[in-house]
Each structure stands twice: as structure tokens, then as C-alpha cells.
Amino acid sequence: MREADFRLPAGNRASAAVRAEIMAAAELLFCRRSSPGETAERALLIVGQSAHLRSLSWEDVRDVLLPRVDEQTWRRALRCLQADRTDVCPLWLNMVTVAALPPAVSRHNTPSSAHALARLVETRLGAQHSAHIMVVCEKSSVFASACAVARAFPLFSRKSERSSSREDRRVTVEFFCVEPRGERLSNSALECLSRAAQSVRLAARIVDSPCSDMDTERFLQEVRAVAAELRISPVIIRGEELRKKGFGGIYGVGKGATSRPALAVLSHTPPAATQTIAWVGKGVVYDTGGLILKGKTQLPGMKRDCAGAAAVLGAFSAAVKQGFKENLHAILCLAENCTGPRATRPDDIHRLYSGKTVEIRNTDAEGRLLLADGAAYALRDLKADVILDMATLTGAQGVATGRYHGALLTNDEDWEKACVAAGRSSGDLVQPLVYTPELHFSEFSSAMADVKNFVSVTFTAVARGPSRAPLAFTDSTPPHPFPSPLLVCMPNGLFSEELLLTHCSSPAKRSESHGTVCMCVCLLCHGAGPQ
């Protein structure tokens, strides 16, 4: 390996079980180019769009292919690849493979074909102990491709046959840029890729972990580990202290659980900052639905309801390491929504941190209560100029934007455009929803409180549902609009175990389980990605 190798650290101050788990996972390294013969005994995957692969000369790939594959075999394989779809051609048993990504990219897709790349890498190399990946792409697709590769190598596993030797699980990744031709990545770019990939795998590990391993206390351990690594002192408010300080939304959702609810805040405040940005993440470590209990087909997979907070934590870590120049706050609203004698009941009324009261009509509509407290804290205490909420908030997202696009709701058109562009650049796609809260606020009126947290689902639910989010933050009802740019991101989780699922009725297949840390990567691309 040449001088520019960047390894993903295993993370510091983790528990013994987590450290052992990470040590058994694949070590991921990003490098400029491999040395001649270095990949001779390892699985090799050369992947890119068909046109990019055909643009390679033999000299471009000779060092990674020899001595197992000669020039004639290489050129024959390129001729065999189908140009109009994803295709794979083995070159030397199952150890050396060239693969073509789908060429069709419409205007709402990512040019990197990141979803296809992640699936292909996991399918071809997921079981290999040692591998080398050569990604052939344009320089503009490098960031998305690196994060896609990271998704294919999750850190969490309880499989008994998984190797305990870290040396047996080393994966190196190099990029060949076809535009500009042959340009090699700088050390700073490789370091950025490593940090982004680390954040992806961190968020994936948190969300993949079952609640028995990742309750609110364990989640706080992850927060403290990130804080220690960044030399930040976190603000943590827990249990009864939440109630005393007025966080009725977070407290009300989590008070029935044995693991106490919490609000955790990490703050990065560089001296030259001119703007304050707050990322608010929903962290429901398990969502039974509360007393309005989910059905038996809906409960499996509800460990993933902490995905918004996990993605915010991972993105915050990478952004700060990357030298984010503005004030940045990660606000994690953590709770377990469960049944029990102390659980919130339908008809209960909670007073939120904004001062508003909310009548509970559905205990399974808990995410908006957490976000209400988090966003009000961001506005009132942190004086945020921009607030972004991320949550596995509603099953209506899947109806509105489908399987591959997270739903985006915002009161600011410029931020809407910026997030859509960041999604295409990062490979974590988002699609805007209609923002017309004034048409739907009246439906949330309550005879007993300022608002209610749920209305019956009708054909307008997709349009009005996300409008609930700003309701209880501040005095945001018309004619008093929310005073800061507000973004509500509802990533899709139908295909992702690491992130993004609120009300999916069946668990994801393992082969598709690590599809995104949607918006974690999108946020990095918008705020701290490589230039």
C-alpha cells in the first residue's frame, strides 16, 4: 500500500462487547493506488459504469489484475458485459470480478448509482475475508461511491461463525477517476472519505443493534464516546430532570420504560462562526406503539426507530472532524416507547418545551413529540438559524416518495434545493413534499389542549401529515410562521436495517439491510464533503 492509506478507527471508549464486534468486522481502508502484485491473493472487484470500464487501458488495471488475469482475458470480459444493465463477469474463479453498474440515471436519481453499487459490493464481497475494490467513476461520484461501499460492510453482527481476527477482514478501496482522466485523490480527500465512511458505519451499528444492546443508556455511551473523541462536553438531561425542565414530549414518550428517556446535545462552536445550525434526531430505541400497541407484523424491526438520532450523531462526528466552520449542534431525543403502568395514555395532555400543550390521541405518533422538544430547544436555547429534524416519522413517507427517496419538508425553498442537490451528490436521495401548513393546521385543533398529536388517516394524510412537525415547536401557527428555516427529513427505511423505518410491517432482508444512512451522508455532502 502506498503512502496515502486511511483506516477507519474502531472507535474509542467502546464497551468490551462492542470492541470485539468491531474487531471482527471488516477493516476498511481507502488508498490512492495498490502496488503491483499486492492484490494477488485477495478477492478483487473492479466496478463502474460500462462506458467508464471500457475507457480503461490495460496499463490502468494491470497492477491489480496480474498475475491472475492477462490482458486478453480482461478485454474479452469487457466485451461480454451488457451495456444497458447491471452485469457481472467473473475473470478468475470467484476471486476476480468485473462488474458494470446500470447506466440509466434519470433526473431524480444519483449519477453515482450508489444503491446499485452498495448491493453489488455486498453480494460479491460480503463473505470474503480479504478484498480489494477498484471503483471506476467520475470524480464527482467518489464521495457517494465511498459511502456506498461502507454500507456493504456493517459493523454489527451476532453470527457465531464470524471471525474474531481483524487481520482476516481487510478491505481496501481505490478510485480511478475517468473525469478528470486518471486524477488521483489527495490525502485530504482520502481522509474525508474515511471519516464519512466511519460515520456511516457508526450509524449503521447503532441502528442494527437490538434494543437489548442499544437502549437509551447504551446510546448515551455512544454519545459520550463521540464527545470524548471530539473533546466536547455533552449536555445530557435524563429522566425526571426532563420533566422538571419542561421537556414534556420526550419525558411523556419514554417515562414508561425501564431505561430512562434523555436529551443529549453535542455542540461545535468554532470562533469564526457566523451561523448556527441545529440537527435534531429522533432516537426511539424501540417503538412498541405504546398503549396503542403495534401488531405482531409491525413490531419486528422497530429497533430502527432511533435511526434519525444515529444518523445525526454519525454526521456530526464526521462534520466536526472535517473542520465544519459554523456553529453546529446535534440534539438527540432518546426514548423507548413501550407499554406499562407509567406509560402515556390516550387522552393524556403533555406540556411541551415550547410551552404549548398537546392532547395525546395516538401513543404511536410519538416522534413528533420528541422532535417538538428538540426543535424548541434548538430555537430557544441555542438560537439556531437553521434547524433540521431527521426522523423515521411516518409510514406516509413510503407512499409519498417511495423506496429510495427520503421525504423532505421545509419552509425554505433555497434549503429545499440545496438538500435535493446534496442527496444526488451523496447518493442518499430526498424528494420535497408539499409545504402548505396553513391548509391543515385546523385539523389538529383540540378542545382540551393547544393541539392534538394525531388525526384520522385519510387520502390527504400524505400531504398534511408532515405538517404536524412544526405545530408544537413555537408559536408557529399562521399568521406566525416558524422564525427559522426548518427542514423535516423523513428517510425511507423499507430496505434499510441501518436506518430509516417507522411503520414498515416486515423486517428487511439481510442482503438489503445496510442500504443507507440516509441524510447522514446527505448532510455531510452538503456541509463537509470533499470539494
User: From the first residue on, what is the mean pLDDT of each consecutive set of 10 residues in the chain (531 residues)?
Assistant: 49 56 78 86 95 95 95 96 91 94 93 95 84 96 96 90 62 93 90 96 96 98 98 98 98 98 99 96 98 96 96 96 96 98 98 96 95 95 94 85 90 90 92 87 90 74 47 46 64 34 24 39 51 35
Cα–Cα distance for residue pair 65/67, rounded to 1 Å:
6
Co-location of 106 and 181 in the same domain: yes
29 within some domain: yes
Q: Which residues contact 337 (CB under 8 A, 6 or more apart)?
A: 253, 254, 257, 284, 286, 287, 288, 289, 290, 305, 363, 364, 366
Co-location of 295 and 376 in the same domain: yes
C-alpha 205: how far from chain center = 11
Co-location of 238 and 134 in the same domain: no
Among the options 32, 170, 294, 380, which is catalytic? Answer: 294
CATH for 85: 3.40.50.10590
Assess whether 417 carries a catalytic annotation: no
Cα–Cα distance for residue pair 379/374, rounded to 1 Å:
9
What pLDDT score does 109 carry?
A: 95
**Number of domains the chain contains:** 2
Co-location of 401 and 516 in the same domain: yes
Closest CA to 500 of 423, 369, 398, 425: 398
What pLDDT score does 496 carry?
A: 28
Co-location of 21 and 102 in the same domain: yes
37 within some domain: yes
428 within some domain: yes
Cis peptide preceding 67, ω within 30 of 0: yes
Assess whether 169 carries a catalytic annotation: no
What pLDDT score does 501 carry?
A: 22
What pLDDT score does 505 carry?
A: 20
307 within some domain: yes
Co-location of 172 and 230 in the same domain: no
Question: Which contiguous run of DSSP H or E holds residue 328?
Answer: strand 327-337
Burial of 88 (0-12, 13-18, 19+ CB in 10 A): middle
Q: Which residues contact 23 (CB under 8 A, 6 or more apart)?
A: 10, 164, 166
The domain of 271 spans 221-460+470-527
Cα–Cα distance for residue pair 402/201, rounded to 1 Å:
24
Among the options 169, 195, 368, 452, which is catalytic? Answer: 368
Cα–Cα distance for residue pair 325/243, rounded to 1 Å:
34
Coil vs helix vs strand at 132: strand
Cα–Cα distance for residue pair 142/127, rounded to 1 Å:
24
Distances (CA, A) of 266 to 30, 225, 271, 333, 396: 28, 11, 16, 12, 31
Co-location of 266 and 327 in the same domain: yes
